[in-house]
A and B are shown apart, each in its own frame.
Chain A
Amino acid sequence: MTPRDRSGVGGALPAIALGAALWLLHAGTAAWWWIVALPAVYGAARRDGWIRAVASAAAVGAAVWGLAFARSIAGPSNHLAPKVAALFGLPSTSALAAAIVAFAAIAAGAGASAGYFLRPRGRGGCA
């Protein structure tokens, strides 16, 4: 692993930190829009290219919301999830999970992208 190679553990650390921060912020406040705001900070602070910043933020966002959803429907919400899916016209709980994960991925990716374009010129630069 070289300093420039961020595909390994070293490259994953910021994403893990992003995930942990998202989890903590979500758990600590009633605001849902951290799923956009925190990836924006991440996108602005990281030196990755645009694709890597957006992709990793989207993956982390999807993972955080997906895991939290999975955790809640494994417990108190297991009777609720199929009903909410039907309420929104979705065929199953899996489809609902997919929709939630997709929403989180889009929100986090959009946030990271917005942050990325706020970087001063020369810090990572345009792809």
Chain B
Amino acid sequence: MRFTGLLMSWSLALAVVVLGGRAIPVGEARLPPIGPFVDPFHGVWGARDVDAPPPETLEIAELRGPVDIVWDDRGVAHVFAGSAHDAYVAQGWITARDRLFQMELAARHAGGRLAEVAGPAALESDLGARRFGLPVAADRALEATMADPRTAEALEAYAAGVNAWIRDLRAVDRPLEYKLLDHHPEAWSPRHTALVLKGMSRILSTRSREFDRARAVEALGADATDRLYPESSPFDDPVVPVGTEWTFDPVPPPPLPGDPADRPQALAIPEAAERDDADLALGSNSWAIAGTHTSSGHAILANDPHLALALPSFWYEIQLSTPEFRATGATLAGVPGVVIGFNDRVAWGVTNGYTDALDWLCHTFDDESLDRYRYDGEALDTEWREERIAVRGGTDRVERVPWTVHGPAIGPPGVLDETSDEDGDRVPDDTRCAARWIGHDASNEMRALEGLQRSASVAEARAALRDWAGPALNFSLADRAGDVAMLHAALAPLRRRGQGRLPGDGSDPRDAWNAFVPFAHLPYVETPEEGFVVSANQAPTDRTYPYDLGIDWAPSDRATRIRELLSATEAPTAEDVAAMQTDVVGPYARRLLPGLLDALDATTFEPDATERDALEALRRWDYAYDTHAVAPIVFDRWQRAVADAVWSDHLERDDGPPLRRPSRDVLTRLAVGADDPAWAPFVDDRTTEAIEGFGEIARSTFRATVEDLTESHGPCCAEWSWGATRPVRVAHVAGLPGLGRDALSAPGQYGTVRAQTRRGGASFRIVVELGDPPRAWSGYPGGQSGDPASRRYDDRIDPWFAGTLERTHVYRSAESASEGVVARTRAVPARDGAP
């Protein structure tokens, strides 16, 4: 008995100690060791009070002089330094204090090093980054950035500040995520910043639909492909207004001898489809109003970049004041300087430009070893890059990636999934497509950002953007003189018209990028007659522009609505502009719905009571996607059902995934012009013998829509509100459950100015009025602190969802700062000069 008791007791006690101290594998994820994690003295509860006032004094060895930091009531730090160097040191320290985990996560994500801390669950993500050559891209950018003394100093100073914070960070004070991962922060370096920037570039500039288009050409023919995936739309409302004359002599693209019709459009490639994520739907808005057209007489700039909504937020607000510049606004955690914001004389904002920055160039290799390929008539050796990925709790993964003169030969999408075995060894095949991506070229975007901070006029800001290579962005600009401008900034390949629509021939140098559009020829508009400039990811120009920048722009809905609002508002105030940012009227619905209702009315449709209520809601709708409105969900589901009915039978493939859906503009054209013989074949359901008309589609899909909604939300219309049926989620940046916010209700839709999808939306909103001094308002769906223990982790979510902006404090000096000041820190170089 005693022996049994001894054995059982010791077994249990040892089990508690051993198991309580070990990470617990759950599938491919790992729970942290439960004992130390929940230890109330040193575990997750034992950390410092992250909301305690910051220190009054601080020593940072790398500073060259004293720095004053003023903390305001929004958790924003205002840095007053004697030099840009010291401002960036302080920025690094401050950002690490609030966002350390997010910074490391972003750098590891781009660098393909997540599995090193997160284990096998992150391997797929790491493989994607390594195969695409993101670390290579970052290294090339870093080399260019470090070659410039000013940007090199910025990156090094910032890293020194981050590392000063890490150096003093006690293990118990690590943010929650580090404790969950049982990981200590790694030292920051300029390369980490380069990786963060490349990671963002990848998100914004790697959309490519060449393989989709190639499949469509093969399945439907060139004419139908051009009809379904056109180069432009009658609803286009470009950034540079239609009718603008081009005042330069365009550089001709490289000639292509012979008859283009004889030229093979693409090599034979495996079936594959690129993915679109409708729940995410990235985009942005920015506009600027000249001082001559505003109430105050000062130029006003508005910007709201749309990204996946995440906690912590992508953006981090800061003010940096030095004798050389005073910049205020939002930056990316991990990047020195201000990315979106203003100084005393200039304000700047960004939207994604969507210039085609990625071409796929296909090679037939000499054999299945992929060791040699042809280019310009010569046989070249493949450059094999070995990528070793450390996997926590597993064995290292070694991946050999073939690079040709164009880039990593990793296409078409899916080819690696099919040909790589568990050990990363290649299964033979001899056709691969190389990714020619602008992000792989050496560039120094930091110089452009640095230049913006120092610019004093629209002209100077434009000149600073000469260094901007990618991702292609529309920079909205406004200055103290009241001028405004919009520049489509990018290193844009000089292409033949149509080049890059389909995968090209990797062996032919004429399909390569041999030159770029001159900076002076990039789309640019400055203080136009109408008094404002607008960008919302739409086409930058009409088709008269002499260069081919691509075709995959966002629909012009948001731009059209912004122009409409600006035209209808005489002499707007900053408050008017902020209200415009939350406008939820949907131009797409306004165009399509009347056509759908007309089509329905033309049939013998006899609605039942529920259908009648739903129809009534649609007929009374003002096209505003308000949270309480019923019509938006009915319309949204109905148009999806119509799109399904129209496209499915034409786009489904027996031999692979379906072809990509045509855009909403194309569906609208079909609905409006359904009687056009050119559209009739698409209206007819090919799976039935009868010839269907659009009215029949409208009727059957409306009936099915109401039936579905009734089934999921009860009879019309008590529970059919847009807000309740389309919940919005702000997820934790690493997807950890419990650390995000779910089931939020928000108005708007992808095509409204207040762009809102289930997982994406305005990641930051700012309105700047460039008086003396400038005034600004801002907000974002998150909080300044990235630490889940802080009350500032998500304190801005509610105001953001309510659509309100907070006044941005801008202080002239540390001494004069008073309004909203909650704490002050004086940072000095370490007395002994050593860390």
Contacts and interface: CB of A to CB of B under 8 A. Distances in A.
Name the interface size band of chain B.
Answer: 35 or more
Nearest to B38: A100
A71 B41 CA distance: 10
Interface string A87-127: 11100000000001001001100110110111001000010
Contacts of A33: 17, 20-21, 35
A80 B788 contact: yes
Nearest to B790: A79
Given A33-B17, A84-B176, A111-B13, A27 B45 contact: no
A121 B12 CA distance: 22
Contacts of A47: none
Interface in B28-61: 31, 34-36, 38-52
User: Which of A26, A69, A80, A106: most chain B CB closer than 10 A?
Assistant: A80
B311 to A, nearest CB: 10
Nearest to A100: B38
Contact of A87 (B12, B21, B739): B739
A80 B45 contact: yes
B5 interface: yes
A89 to B, nearest CB: 7
Contacts of A100: 38, 40
B515 interface: no
Given A103-B38, A110-B9, A117-B5, A79 B793 contact: yes
Contacts of B180: 87
B718 interface: no
Nearest to A81: B45
Contacts of A50: 5
8 contacts: A72-B45, A81-B45, A84-B44, A87-B739, A103-B38, A114-B6, A118-B6, A126-B1
A80 B40 CA distance: 13
B40 A107 contact: no
A81 to B, nearest CB: 8
Contacts of A15: none
Given A111-B13, A117-B10, A32 B5 contact: no
B789 A40 contact: no
A16 to B, nearest CB: 19
A71 to B, nearest CB: 8
B739 A83 contact: yes
Contacts of A83: 176, 738-739, 788
User: Which of B6, B8, B12: most chain A CB closer than 10 A?
Assistant: B12
B736 interface: yes
B13 A114 contact: yes
Interface of A: 26-27, 30, 32-33, 35-36, 40, 50, 65, 68-69, 71-73, 75-77, 79-89, 100, 103, 106-107, 110-111, 113-114, 116-118, 121, 126
A77 B9 CA distance: 34
B691 interface: no
A79 B788 contact: yes
Nearest to A121: B2
Nearest to A43: B9
A89 B737 contact: yes
| Binding site secondary structure of chain B | loop
B16 interface: yes
Interface string B158-186: 00000000000001100010001000000
B619 interface: no
Given A69-B45, A113-B8, 6 more contacts: A35-B35, A35-B39, A87-B736, A100-B38, A117-B2, A126-B2
A76 B2 contact: no
Given A84-B738, A86-B737, A76 B49 contact: yes
Contacts of B52: 76
A107 B2 contact: no
Contacts of B42: 26, 30, 32
B791 interface: yes
A108 to B, nearest CB: 9
Contacts, number: 123
User: Which of A40, A50, A71, A88: most chain B CB closer than 10 A?
Assistant: A88
A19 to B, nearest CB: 13
Contacts of A75: 49
B20 A110 contact: no
A110 B5 CA distance: 11
Nearest to A40: B13
Contacts of A72: 40, 45-46
B559 to A, nearest CB: 39
User: Which of B34, B35, B38, B737: most chain A CB closer than 10 A?
Assistant: B38
A76 B50 CA distance: 7
A113 B5 contact: yes
A36 B39 CA distance: 12
A79 B9 contact: no
Contacts of A73: 45
B27 to A, nearest CB: 14
Nearest to A33: B17
Interface in B411-456: none
Contact of B737 (A30, A79, A87): A87
B39 A79 contact: no
Nearest to B5: A117
A83 B312 CA distance: 14
Which 5 pairs show the lowest CB-CB distances between chains A and B? A86-B738, A68-B40, A76-B49, A32-B39, A113-B9
A33 B50 CA distance: 26
Given A75-B49, A76-B51, A114 B40 contact: no
Contacts of B9: 110, 113-114, 116-117
A32 B739 contact: no
A34 to B, nearest CB: 9
B48 A76 contact: yes
Contacts of B35: 32-33, 35, 107
B13 A36 contact: yes
Contacts of A76: 47-52, 789
A32 B32 CA distance: 14
Interface string B118-137: 00000000000000000000
A32 B788 contact: no
A32 B9 CA distance: 19
Nearest to A66: B40
User: Which of A27, A40, A72: most chain B CB closer than 10 A?
Assistant: A72
A33 B49 CA distance: 24
A73 B161 CA distance: 31
Given A80-B788, A107-B16, A117 B6 contact: yes
Contacts of A84: 44, 176, 738
A105 to B, nearest CB: 11
A100 B40 CA distance: 9
Contacts of A85: 738
Given A86-B737, A87-B736, A114-B12, A68 B789 contact: no
Nearest to B48: A76
A114 B9 CA distance: 5
A68 B5 CA distance: 31
B16 A110 contact: yes
A106 B16 contact: yes
Nearest to B6: A117
User: Which of B8, B9, B12, B36: most chain A CB closer than 10 A?
Assistant: B9
Contacts of B171: 30
A80 B44 contact: yes
Contacts of B736: 87
A121 B791 CA distance: 56
Contacts of A107: 13, 16, 20, 35
Contacts of A118: 6
Nearest to B176: A80
Nearest to B47: A76
B600 to A, nearest CB: 45
Contacts of B39: 26, 32, 35, 65
Nearest to B742: A86
Contacts of B20: 32-33, 103, 107
Interface string B312-352: 00000000000000000000000000000000000000000
Given A32-B35, A32-B43, A36-B13, A79 B789 contact: yes
